[in-house]
Amino acid sequence: MTYGPKTIAGEMVHALKYRGKNESFVDAMTRVADALKDNEFHFYTFKDILLDQRFLPAGRVQAAMGSPRKVTPYNCFVSGTIEDSMNDIMDKAKEAAETMRLGGGIGYDFSDLRPNGDLIRSLDSRSSGPVSFMGIYDSVCKTVASAGHRRGAQMAVLRVDHPDIEEFVEAKTNNYNLTNFNISVGVTDKFMDAVQREATFDLVFNGRTHKTIDAKALWNKILRATWDYAEPGILFIDRINKKNNLWYCETIAATNPCGEQPLPPYGACLLGSFNLVKYLTRSSNSYGTELTCSFNYDQLRHDIPHVVRSMDNVVDRAIYPLPQQEEEAKNKRRMGLGITGVANALEAMGLEYGTEPFLEELENILSVIRDCAYTASVELALEKGPFPLFDVKMLESEFTKTLPSAIRENIRKYGIRNSHLLSIAPTGTISLTADNVSSGIEPVYTHKMSRKIGTPDGKIDVVIKDYAYSEWGVKGKTADDLSVLDHVKVLNLASKYVDSACSKTCNVGADVTWEEFKDVYMRAYLGGASGCTTFRAAGKRFGIFTPLAEEEGIDNIPEALPDNFVNETDEGTACYFDPSTGQRSCE
């Protein structure tokens, strides 16, 4: 049996990013399974899951675990709290450089830095504000990349009540400023209430009101920048903290660069996704005519405990850029298990993206993953002990209140091994290595596209087909074909079943009005999402993917790997958002 990517594009990308020199796909998956095993039975079971690509560990895990190279299996981190002093600003920039050097993306909260023009009494001078200091971190990221290390990724967050919020919102309303940053506004419930009531809102720092503004006017300014430039994103920061299982021992102010992992200072995200197309059972009659396509829930329930056990082992066997990150990870043992291939799998079952039958099936799948993952983590706690900072107060979080009563009671009695287990990440690259299954919970981007792929001799153009279209002739609805409200419905549903957050881009068609666009964000807030990001193709940024008509040829796809192809890994990719396309990747 042949394992691994079947398309040349999938094979090239997997070999370049996740394997060592002369390492095959089977070699690489054997290496990962061996590095994460508890015993021989676990090794063979997890290896089978990996070889079949039923579970896709984040590229960082695939590249790092069992490898002789000094790289971290963690995708992304959040910086320690940046204190309002030049020494601490520079110390955190140094820590960021070390984190990116070992392959991690990083998020920051700049809300503790005094606003532009504020008096610095010790120097008898004025502060230049958080946006100016972001330039330091932007340069650090650029320098790390230019020194021959992997591409960096950063997320900057500023609270909506910071006096410099308007400057922050406008910081990327161009195509050249802070190009190594994604930016998001930390929106509070108090602000959203003021927007809904069309009331005023105070911008404050250290308890002093600097300015009183019209809340709806600021909301419109934020959304107008997003309408044109796809940034800033929105984080509903109070909801994130109320939902947080560790509300009793941490406060979250920032996320990883793609937003699916709200993390405390020095927090790290450990990601992986169940590939739903591999759980389809396709039935046919005696003449070979296909009749039905159903979802194999039994196989999914079988796989989840082995995956949870393996990913939990990453925590203890990982290399960390900083000792603070290691301490944070081992005290809480976070992971973020998600899904990919959603659109392909469910549309192959005849369920149109965003419709009620689609949402019902997605809810069934997510509830199985939630319940099995939490049950597996409780069982691991019985075997290996709960995470060190476990407290029954965990059961008071908004998320754990949604768990079945039997699971809640078991957590109360026995504890749980992992503080967080569920997250839905954008999976652009690992989905491509699984023969271009639809990414995460996103709809199909296009049925066929031209994309540049890097090789040892530079970038080449290849044509990549959507998995369901290529394998089964299923033409799912594309991102631009859907109503933007279909995107929001999927986001809101998925958000209910993760204990961290979902990364989803709500594509906005050219026919969507300004008022309809603003409604997207309000619906996301009222529907329970932890945040929202949109991409409007008619905005002021341009895409790098070129959709192709069905009749266009695919002559430029190589028939095999180039003769001089050497699969020396570039160590995967960090969490990354390409604002020119709206496409996200967190590998």
pLDDT along the chain (587 residues), means of 10: 89 90 95 98 98 96 92 91 95 93 88 86 75 93 64 88 97 86 96 98 96 97 94 96 98 93 95 97 67 90 98 96 96 97 96 97 98 98 98 98 98 98 92 94 88 70 88 89 92 97 88 92 96 86 49 45 50 50 60
* Single-letter code of the amino acid located at 216: K
Q: Which of 141, 258, 269, 502 is catalytic?
A: 258
The closest of 272, 424, 434, 442 to 343, measured between CA atoms, is: 442
- For CA atoms 36, 40, 42, 43, the dihedral sign is positive
Would you call 258 a catalytic residue per the annotation? Answer: yes
Helix H segments across 438-584? 467-472, 484-495, 514-526
Q: Which of 256, 275, 313, 344 is labelled catalytic?
A: 256
Residue 100's pLDDT is 87
Q: Does residue 442 carry a catalytic annotation?
A: no
CA 57 to the chain's CA centroid: 13
Is 256 marked active-site? yes
φ and ψ of 364, to 5 deg: -60, -45
- Which helix (H) or strand (E) segment holds residue 233: the answer is strand 233-236
Note the pLDDT of residue 71. 83
424 DSSP assignment: B
Q: What share of the chain is helix, strand, coil (3-state, %, to 5)?
A: 40, 20, 40
Q: Rg of the chain over CA atoms, in angstroms?
A: 23
Active-site residue, selected from the candidate residues 11, 95, 231, 260: 260
Residues contacting residue 3 through CB under 8 Å, at least 6 positions apart: 25, 26, 29, 51, 52, 53
